[in-house]
Chain A
Amino acid sequence: MPRPFTPKIITANDLLEGDVIYFTDTNSWSRELQEAELIEDEAEAQLRLLEAEKDALRVVGIYLTDAKSGDNGPEPTHFREDFRRTGPSNYRHGKQEAAANV
């Protein structure tokens, strides 16, 4: 039996800066996870992934990953995506220190 679909977001890394970015419902990329589009339908997720991949020359490593709905928008369900959202543990670098849109 196929596993039930769990909600997804689309994420990637910015080509020039390398930092983590998220695909929004306006077909743009944001550095804030809470601005990502939360996709609840499996077929829609594949279509949105194709849309995001149109930016493959500008962004790197586009993929779908699990997320859940939170009070302020999507939230990660796995610690890896949580670390990508914030930054490393040992310094307040990465998303912890800067947040500007692409």
Chain B
Amino acid sequence: MYKYNDFDTAFLAERNAQFRAQVERRIDGSLTEDEFKPLRLMNGLYLQLHAYMLRVAIPYGTLNSDQMRTLALLAEKWDKGYGHFTTRQNIQYNWPKLRDVPDMLDALAEVGLHAIQTSGNTIRNVTSDHFAAAAKDELTDPRPYAELIRQWSTDHPEFQFLGRKFKIAITGSSTDRAVTKAHDIGLRMVERDGVAGFEVIVGGGLGRTPLIGKVIRDYLPQADLLPYLESVLAVYNLLGRRDNKYKARIKITVLENGIDTIREMVEERFEERRKAFDGTDQQLLEEIKAHFTPPKLRGGNVETYLTAYDADPVFRSWADTNLAAHRDDNHAIVTISIKAHGQTPGDATAAQMRGMADLAEEFGYNELRISHEQNVILPHVHKSDLPALHAKLKEHGLATANVGLISDIIACPGMDYCALATARSIPVAQEIASRFDELKLEHDVGHLQIKISGCINACGHHHVGHIGILGLDRAGVENYQITLGGDATETAAIGTRTGPGFAYDEIVPAVERLITAYLSLRDSAEETFLQTYRRVGMDPFKAALYPEAQKKVA
């Protein structure tokens, strides 16, 4: 993985010293809050409902064990013993004290982590496929390109004050695990005449106006990545609306001007901008790539795995649910669920973070990933180690076999923490997970993604959940709208609203009615919820959700 050089290290040290002085000046009264707020936001520090919140970037979701231990240290020393992994491959600390934040940033810098551009109207943390460099279906590891984009975008003078935040996601696989079509720019590695390049998608995004991105370039040579991105950003910076923050994202720019006009303008600028790139970026990319050489995978047989798989049904259930195919048949990709039933989606305690760091060292070539689905991944584990790994995960309370199932819910912090939220998300997720655990139904239900947001900004990606739940404030009461049919993958789709929302105490029974309907509608156990929805449409689910309305019609 990428290792900071002397320049990077000095840059972070200088940046942190600068912020430390700014914090001191705010505390001694030299700076007002109006003056200080943009400075703290540039360093990932928000003021939320109950306390400050520090958002730390985990670039392209990749961590080593030392970095994970530092995240644990921050949780333990300066927070309340846990951290919250988010859908943007960040970790958030919900209780830091203002005076402690510079120390937290210094501790992060020691292991090459930071909170730069995790906030503000700038290019945010670049996200990537959490199975990068391990997935069987991968064309090329996308992370060196993500690192190149990170370095290019960090403190880029032209893009620090955009109309709104700007999010880029990148994947090197045909299966989209990075939700590229719901980003301001999505980059998908494709091949043409045997040479890998990028399909470039622009204008996707969720929030108030959910839109699936449009292809602006079906093939972009790798060497043109930065000048092309710069051209897209430049056009957005020029055309993007600044009169209304709700219409300031590039998705609205694309919608209002049309993809053809945007493409034409981007291509025009691209011709100019690429001349300014003299190849330095490509030299840098080669240096970056050298840090992403895959681990030397060990050989050996997988007998212990096969024996445990046959003999131990608990291990088998976990293996069937939480493992994914690795490019090397003797290895597996392990998703560690941090969604134990009834727990807060995405939360890990300091002890669990240390435990995962130890396990990555012992079994996972010292690599961890954070997924946008709020789980932790060990991308390379030899199958012979899986029984021992599973046993140790159990000790840490991390062996829940629910990846991709109904309790593997994405949920934003909602009104339990977030100042923007209009309703709570976390307890809804907790209650749905607990309910289906009690019913012992989730393995029977199979692959199903529930995504919950506590406000229209859609940090919980509810629009692309098979079942999406949006919490709103309706006349001073929490109310939850349901959408069905959303899809976060390469076949991305925005879900359709079912009808009137549900009160807080009605939402879990409503989800239960949806699932009961699905179980009776599916044509076999192999047909997923999404497939059934696409086959039968909204009406049978609507009938299950609103039985009273059906009676009136009858």
Question: A residues engaging B (CB < 8 A)?
Answer: 13, 15-20, 56-57, 60-61, 77-80, 83-84, 87-91, 93-95
Contact = CB atoms under 8 A, between A and B. Distances in A.
A89 B477 contact: no
A83 B49 contact: yes
B98 A18 contact: yes
A76 B96 CA distance: 26
Contacts of B426: 88-90
Nearest to B53: A18
B33 A56 contact: yes
Contacts of B80: 91, 93
Contacts of B50: 18-20, 84, 87-88, 93-95
Contacts of B430: 90
A99 to B, nearest CB: 13
B460 to A, nearest CB: 15
Interface in B465-482: 473, 476-478
A83 B33 CA distance: 24
Interface string B27-60: 1010011000000000000011111100000000
B347 to A, nearest CB: 8
Contacts of A83: 49, 415-416, 424
Contacts of B424: 83, 89
Nearest to A57: B29
B477 A56 contact: no
A78 B476 contact: yes
B32 A93 contact: no
B47 A13 contact: yes
Given A79-B477, A80-B415, A89 B427 contact: yes
A19 B51 contact: yes
Given A56-B32, A90-B427, A91-B80, A17 B416 contact: no
Contacts of B94: 88, 93
Contacts of B32: 56-57
A16 B51 contact: no
Contacts of A56: 32-33
B49 A17 contact: no
Give the contact-size bracket for chain B.
20 to 34
Given A60-B33, A88-B426, 7 more contacts: A13-B51, A16-B99, A17-B98, A19-B50, A60-B47, A80-B415, A80-B473
B533 interface: no
Contact of B95 (A80, A89, A90, A93): A93
Residue in B29, B99, B417, B477 with the greatest tally of chain A CB atoms within 10 Å: B417
A94 B476 contact: no
A12 to B, nearest CB: 10
B416 A88 contact: yes
Contacts of B52: 18
B97 interface: yes
B344 interface: yes
B478 A79 contact: yes
Nearest to B347: A90
B513 to A, nearest CB: 24
A98 B495 CA distance: 42
B316 interface: no
A16 B98 contact: yes
Interface string B321-361: 00000000000000000000000100100000000000000
B26 interface: yes
Residue in A57, A61, A83, A90 with the greatest tally of chain B CB atoms within 10 Å: A90
B344 A18 contact: no
A62 to B, nearest CB: 10
Contacts of A79: 415, 473, 476-478
Contacts of B347: 90
Nearest to B344: A90
B470 to A, nearest CB: 16
Interface in B73-97: 80, 94-97
A31 B272 CA distance: 58
A6 B51 CA distance: 27
Given A90-B427, A90-B430, A15 B416 contact: no
A47 B273 CA distance: 56
Nearest to B95: A93
Contact of A16 (B27, B48, B417): B27
A60 to B, nearest CB: 5
Interface string B519-544: 00000000000000000000000000
Contacts of A61: 33, 47
Contacts of B415: 79-80, 83
B33 A18 contact: no
A14 to B, nearest CB: 9
Nearest to A95: B50
A78 B424 CA distance: 13
A80 B473 CA distance: 9
A19 B80 CA distance: 14
A87 B50 CA distance: 7
Nearest to B422: A80
A84 B427 CA distance: 16
In the complex, the 8 A-B pairs of residues with the closest C-beta atoms, listed nearest first: A88-B416, A18-B51, A18-B52, A94-B50, A57-B29, A89-B427, A90-B344, A90-B426
Contacts of B95: 18, 93
Given A56-B32, A89-B424, A77 B51 contact: no
Contacts of B477: 79
Nearest to B419: A61
A84 B49 contact: yes
Residue in A60, A61, A93 with the greatest tally of chain B CB atoms within 10 Å: A93
